[in-house]
Amino acid sequence: MSADESGPIEAHLALLRRLEEAVRAMRRILDPAAAGAALESERRLRATPRAFEDLDSLASQASDLHSWRIVREEVELRAAQARMAFGESLEKALTEAGIPWSGTFPSYRVRESVRLDIDPARGAIRIGRRVVPLGSPNAIVRILSAARLPPPSVSVNVNFEQELATAYADAAQAVGVSPGSYVSIAKIYEVLKQRMAKGYSKARFGEDLSALFNRTNQFEFAAPRHPRQGIRISIGDGVVVGSLRARAS
C-alpha cells in the first residue's frame, strides 16, 4: 500500500520508522568514536557514505509542521468517526440488554434516573457517582447490569393496552382525524398521561410501548420526520415511533 493510499497518519508512521532506523544506524557509526575507537567509526562511515545525508533528509521531512497539521486534522476526523460509531454500538448494546435509556452520546440516562457519561479524553465513564475505566460497549452494559440500579417503575393494576386504545381514540377525536388514521405519538402521550399515575414519564411510556409491541400487533406505528419528534422503543435494534394507529379489527 502506497502512502497516498494509506493516508497521512500511516505515511507519517512509516516516515518515523525510517527515521528511527537512520538514527540507530548513525549511533552504530558514532558509538565507537565516543568510546575511543575513532578508526572504527571512520571505517563504518566509509562503508555507509550517505548515512549523514539520509538522516538529514528524513529529519527534514519529520520536522515539516505543515504536514503534521494535516496528520492532526486526520486524527481528529477519525476520532470523531470513532466516537459516533462507539455511541451507536453502546445504544445497540443497551437496547439488546433490555436496559432503558435516553439521551445521545456521550451523555445518557439509564433506567430513567441514573446518569451515564462517557469521557473518551480521560478514558473513563461515570455511572451516577461511580467512575470506572472506559471499556467496550458490552463491558459498559455488563457493569450496568451488575450495578444496583433502581428498577423501572411498574404500573399497578393498569391495562396499558386498553388505556392506550382509549388515549388513541381521544387524541384522534381531538385532532379531527377518523379512527384508523395515524395520530402523533406526542398527542397520544399527553392524553394518556392524564389517565396514568402521577409522574408517568415519556421514558416509561417508551418502555410500555416496547413491551406492548413485543406481545401484540393491535397497533401500527410510523417513523417521525425527525428522530427528536418521536419516542424510541426497544424493538430489534431499536426504532423511533412518531405516530401510531389502531389496526382495524
- What are 186-196's pLDDT values in tens digits? 899 988 888 88
Domain ranges of the chain: 3-63, 90-146, 160-246
Element housing 222 (H / E): strand 219-222
CA-to-CA separations, 164 to 93, 193, 228, 237, in angstroms, rounded: 28, 10, 21, 24
To the question of pTM greater than 0.75 for the whole model, the response is no
User: What percentage of the chain exceeds 90 in pLDDT?
Assistant: 28
Q: Collapse the DSSP code of 128 into the 3-class scheme (helix H, G, I; strand E, B; otherwise coil) and give the result.
A: coil
Higher-pLDDT residue of 225 and 131 is 131
Give the mean pLDDT of the chain.
84
Tens of pLDDT, residue by residue over 2-22, are 444 579 999 999 999 999 999
Specify the pLDDT at position 25.
94
